[in-house]
Structure 1
Amino acid sequence: MFIWFLLIVALVALYKYGTRNFDYFRAKGVPFNKPRFFVGSRLGMVLKTSNMIEFVEEIYNEFRNEKVSGMFEFNHPAFFIRDPELIKKLAVKEFDSFMDHRLVLSEDAEPLFAKALFGLTGQKWKDMRATLSPAFTGSKMRLMFKLMNEVGSKMSKTVCDKINKGADNKVEFKEFSRKFTIDIIATCAFGIEVNSFENANNDFMRIATKATNFNSSGMLLKLIGFFGFPWLMSRLRVKFLDSELYDFFDNVITETINTRERKEITRNDMIDLLLQAKHGKLEYQEEKSSSDGFATVEESQIGKQKVKTVWSNQDLMAQCFIFFFAGFETVSNVMTFMAYELILNPDIQKKLQDEIDAMNAELKGGDLTYEDVQKLKYMDMVLCETLRMWPPAPIIDRMCTKDFLLEYDNKKVQIEVGRNFYIPVYSLHHNENYFPNPNRFDPERFSDENKKNIRQDCYLPFGIGPRNCIGNRFALLEVKTIFYYLLLNFNFEATKDTQIPIKLANNQATFQFEKGLHCALVPRTK
């Protein structure tokens, strides 16, 4: 009997602990999504009955006319901000009070994430942002473009030759695009040529696949543990990523850095730029104008400051890892969504190919240049609309670093240090008040005549404020370059295996197609 009594007491204590914050928003007079024990607002995603878009849209639409509402990340209360003016105020004007992300992975649990720019907090983040931002200016992208272009051109030729020799022209586009992105990252970040179309099982591809596999039951349990019980995961010393990943990046980066420094090798790639930053030789260069595309976000004053921080090789390894991670998975996702929309809209695909053909004729056999890519206006329009329809991060967050009194509509709501708020990027991009007929893929929204009508605080494919995506120029350039060569040589067409309309995978961490994008690369007759 006593054992049953202890068990009941333990269960009651566990329930009380798991629901201790559930009255948080009621006390503040803020409407909130009714939380469930243990999972908070994430029941559908934990049970894999809904996907990330459905999760964001459900929370967004529940109190659609409210500027602010509440939700729960397991038992952690988080604000949900719908109003673009409030979003801009908190993420830009009041940035000092909302500087960080709520990172559930500590440095002990995940040093590669925690030491990377995305995971750093406070002054460390400011110093690293200022250290890295000079590496991502238009002038540095111009130098790196030669490497990127060589990969795009060479790999497209490999694909053309294989298909012309009778290879199957049907591909799963996500895996197909990953081969491009892994080769570009390997070349532009680490100075290593891979050619994944010739060697699909190379170490970079194997490690990248392992690093981005969040769909296994083990990884799901880890995510739940880090979100719901971070103190327990820390106490148990659970690591989020496989130890092989650390060894791989440590070996590759250490060896590359030592070789570069010993032999004084210069390649104008990311390792070069990081070494310059390490030795304090990399400074931000202000540019008179930017033609990198409408979706490009400008660097804040934080990123333009001079810093004297001395960074270790481990610090540099973390930056390479996050660059590798984002450049591989996120960019291949964007490419897959863009290919999907071009398959659904052959008239748009044809118009884009006409622009590419005109550029190719203008080159007269010469090499594509950085400036040539920036002249592809319709390419930029198509990519911008893809990023609107399918933003790389459907929801983003900021964490309160100083107690802040939020005032709106005659309300005053205190946000304490450690509380975070979410910005529903996908829902803003699909709100008919900001984008008429939002479910229609229409690149003309971003024409010279129309883009002036787009509210910058409602179009957030790369985030907002000083903590926006530092690699946005690289990502845009990468997608444009790869699609230039692919569409120059192929039409994207549906097959019997193409899922239309597309369905998204129901999982906790990723934003991708349920069954992939199966399509055909049909050689063009010119």
Structure 2
Amino acid sequence: MIIWILLLIAAVILLYKYGTRNFDYFQKKGLAFNKPHFLVGSRLSTVLGTKNMIEMLTEIYNEHRDEKISGMFEFNRPAYFIRDPEMIKRLCIKEFDSFSDHRLILSKEAEPLFASALFGLTGQKWRDMRATLSPAFTGSKMRLMFKLINDVGSQMSNTVLEQINKGADNKIEFKEFAQKFTIDIIASCAFGLEINSFNNPNNDFLRIARKATNFATFKTTIKLVGLLGAPWLMKIFKIKFLDEEFYKFFGAMMTDTIKTREEKKITRNDMIDLILQAKHGKQLDYDNEEHTVDGFATVEESQLGKEKVKRTWEDDELLAQCVGFFFGGFETVSSVMTFMAAELIIDPNIQKKLQDEIDEVHKSLNGETLTYEHVQKMKYMDMVVCETLRKWPPAPIVDRKCTKEFNFEYDDKKFIMEYDKNFYVPIYSLHHDERYFPEPEKFDPERFNDENKKNIRQDCYIPFGIGPRNCIGNRFALLEVKTIFYYLLLNFTFEATNETEIPLKLGRSQTTLQLENGLKCALIPRAEE
């Protein structure tokens, strides 16, 4: 009996030693760090559910507020936390060759499509795929794709207006409402399908999309903890992040669409056209066009994205890009739309000013169709969207992985970051730091007027990331949000109901910004003048 007790004590001690073996990592380097906890590292509050991701990040950011670099722990794994904008810019741009990859949380075994999408690719394969895809997201390509976006926005707003005028309930949950817009645009622009989710709200595309991007469930949280803390265990039990229905649905849809396009020689200037060219070893030319003003938040493509590539891609690799486009555009864009609508409800004066600008554009059209150029000329629209992205960035935090040993020397610090270690860029925290944005909790589009935006530091305002690995679809996302809000605010006014939660309260999602109970509001049809 005593032997078994001693063996148990020894096992507990060994487990504790193993689980805390890296906890002195930053101390050895002379860096301040967030105190880790056994097994969960710096994530105790989020694992227990007492704090959401933003609260955790804010706590870590403020604990060593004046340190350019500090440490935190992803469970037992040490990770660097970088606050200094100049340092972030240096590492993500100037030293990009040493930090060119993301840390891959979802391995190819655990999630093959995620790992093969642009976000998950590494090294030369990422460079080749980035250069293959980037020509599809230039300003000139957005002009061609705008018709598809515009058709969805116009059709959907007209459908909703007609339904409300016929007696349908005008009270909505805005996130679910926005998802219908975004899924119809993705279906059209990425897969060449017309769905009309407002007439057909139970379609499989929308149902599976919502199921795949619901990251706030207990089951999803457990999977994410497993993939972060014990990826080897997830691999053994072959546990994937997404269920099999998702793979079967998107795989069949992609295969059928490509087959139809090839047989009937259909061209739509969408993502599938790009995929077909890449499949046959061709590459679109990157337009060396004159600079187009797509909005203050637009991120310019790096030279890496403009390189010519001679490479033939496998079908699964190309399917992964469409899946990546889906995940990049569905959850994030609908979330941005929800937060923007919430801020317009909170401040009706901002909403009215934006409607006045939209009305002016509508009158200037004289019955003609809205154009790409008209959308880009809406200055106040851009200001409101930019401020939404500042206060509620779609990616609150991003990372980079060290791809080759790097020597740090700054102030009185000198240490080496080893290969495979990663650092985090706390975008949300930078956007909410009063040193860079006075009164950061205030929603103030005037920060981005012609006079004030000159004072905004480009390395402190990074809603789409920074450096060559910025969000490739940033132009598309901006165009989508502006077009949809043009049609919504042309036809409706957003108003609070007795179920609208103000102030806004964030939910417990571990990956994205979400309102705890959604945004319940009313769409009030505007009277024709």
TM-score bracket, normalised by the shorter chain, equals over 0.9
Q: Which residue of 2 aligns with 1:346?
A: 348
2:424 counterpart SS class? strand
Q: Could you list the runs of 5+ residues in structure 2 that have no partner in the other structure? A: none
1:312 to 306, 314, 338: 314
Superposition deviation, residue 24 in structure 1? 0.3
State yes or no: 1:222 paired with 2:223.
yes
State yes or no: 1:238 paired with 2:239.
yes
Separation (CA, whole Å) in 2 of partners of 1:509 and 1:113: 15
Separation (CA, whole Å) in 1 of partners of 2:207 and 2:7: 49
Separation (CA, whole Å) in 1 of partners of 2:214 and 2:174: 17
- C-alpha contact (below 8 Å) 2:283/2:309 kept by paired residues: no
State yes or no: 1:368 paired with 2:370.
yes
Separation (CA, whole Å) in 2 of partners of 1:139 and 1:275: 19
State yes or no: 1:337 paired with 2:344.
no
2:374 counterpart SS class? helix
1:467 to 466, 469, 477: 469
- C-alpha contact (below 8 Å) 2:132/2:283 kept by paired residues: no
Q: Which residue of 2 aligns with 1:29?
A: 30
State yes or no: 1:198 paired with 2:194.
no
State yes or no: 1:298 paired with 2:300.
yes
What CA RMSD, in Å, does the superposition of the two structures yield over aligned residues? 1.0
TM-score scaled by structure 1?
0.99
Q: Alpha-carbon deviations, 1:98-147, whole Å to 9, x = none?
A: 01111121111101100000000111110100110001111111111101
Q: Which amino acid aligns with 1:72?
A: F
Superposition deviation, residue 7 in structure 1? 2.6
**Once superposed, which parts of structure 1, at least 4 consecutive aligned residues long, lie more than 6 Å away?**
none
2:308 counterpart SS class? coil
Q: Which residue of 1 aligns with 2:400?
A: 398
State yes or no: 1:490 paired with 2:476.
no
Q: Which residue of 2 aligns with 1:138?
A: 139
1:440 to 439, 442, 456: 442
- C-alpha contact (below 8 Å) 2:159/2:198 kept by paired residues: yes
Superposition deviation, residue 291 in structure 1? 1.2
Q: Which residue of 1 aligns with 2:78?
A: 77
Q: Which residue of 2 aligns with 1:420?
A: 422
Q: Which residue of 2 aligns with 1:6?
A: 7
| Equivalences for residues 123-134 of structure 1 within 5 A | 123-134=124-135
- C-alpha contact (below 8 Å) 2:283/2:308 kept by paired residues: no
Q: Which amino acid aligns with 2:240?
A: K
Q: Which residue of 1 aligns with 2:161?
A: 160
Superposition deviation, residue 282 in structure 1? 1.1
Q: Would you say how many aligned residue pairs link Structure 1 and Structure 2?
A: 526
Farther off after superposition, 252-261 or 276-285 = 276-285
- C-alpha contact (below 8 Å) 2:216/2:508 kept by paired residues: no
Q: Which residue of 2 aligns with 1:499?
A: 501
- C-alpha contact (below 8 Å) 2:395/2:512 kept by paired residues: no
Superposition deviation, residue 236 in structure 1? 2.5
- C-alpha contact (below 8 Å) 1:38/1:75 kept by paired residues: yes
Separation (CA, whole Å) in 2 of partners of 1:291 and 1:135: 17
Superposition deviation, residue 261 in structure 1? 1.3
1:385 to 384, 387, 410: 387
Superposition deviation, residue 59 in structure 1? 0.5
Separation (CA, whole Å) in 2 of partners of 1:281 and 1:515: 44
Superposition deviation, residue 401 in structure 1? 0.4
Superposition deviation, residue 417 in structure 1? 0.6
Superposition deviation, residue 323 in structure 1? 0.6
1:422 counterpart SS class? strand
Separation (CA, whole Å) in 2 of partners of 1:4 and 1:281: 66
Separation (CA, whole Å) in 1 of partners of 2:39 and 2:371: 53
Superposition deviation, residue 269 in structure 1? 1.1
Separation (CA, whole Å) in 2 of partners of 1:400 and 1:256: 39
Q: Which amino acid aligns with 2:172?
A: V
- C-alpha contact (below 8 Å) 2:332/2:394 kept by paired residues: yes
2:343 counterpart SS class? helix
Separation (CA, whole Å) in 1 of partners of 2:285 and 2:412: 45
Superposition deviation, residue 172 in structure 1? 0.7
Superposition deviation, residue 288 in structure 1? 0.6
2:220 counterpart SS class? helix
Q: Alpha-carbon deviations, 1:295-319, whole Å to 9, x = none?
A: 0000001100001111111111101
Q: Could you list the runs of 5+ residues in structure 1 that have no partner in the other structure? A: none
Q: Which amino acid aligns with 1:386?
A: T
Q: Which residue of 2 aligns with 1:268?
A: 269
Superposition deviation, residue 410 in structure 1? 2.1
Farther off after superposition, 210-219 or 25-34 = 210-219
Separation (CA, whole Å) in 2 of partners of 1:183 and 1:516: 21
Separation (CA, whole Å) in 1 of partners of 2:452 and 2:387: 12
2:104 counterpart SS class? coil
Q: Which residue of 1 aligns with 2:187?
A: 186
Superposition deviation, residue 333 in structure 1? 0.2
Q: Alpha-carbon deviations, 1:355-400, whole Å to 9, x = none?
A: 0000000111110011111111110010000000100011111110
Separation (CA, whole Å) in 2 of partners of 1:8 and 1:17: 14
- C-alpha contact (below 8 Å) 1:117/1:125 kept by paired residues: yes
Separation (CA, whole Å) in 2 of partners of 1:194 and 1:11: 56
Superposition deviation, residue 206 in structure 1? 1.0
Q: Which amino acid aligns with 2:124?
A: Q
Separation (CA, whole Å) in 2 of partners of 1:490 and 1:320: 33
Q: Which residue of 1 aligns with 2:18?
A: 17
Superposition deviation, residue 237 in structure 1? 2.1
- C-alpha contact (below 8 Å) 1:48/1:508 kept by paired residues: no
Q: Which residue of 2 aligns with 1:63?
A: 64
- C-alpha contact (below 8 Å) 1:33/1:41 kept by paired residues: yes
1:171 counterpart SS class? strand
TM-score scaled by structure 2?
0.98
Identity level (%)? 70
Q: Which residue of 1 aligns with 2:93?
A: 92
Q: Which residue of 2 aligns with 1:451?
A: 453
Separation (CA, whole Å) in 1 of partners of 2:448 and 2:278: 36
Farther off after superposition, 68-77 or 274-283 = 274-283
Q: Which amino acid aligns with 2:427?
A: V
- C-alpha contact (below 8 Å) 1:153/1:485 kept by paired residues: yes
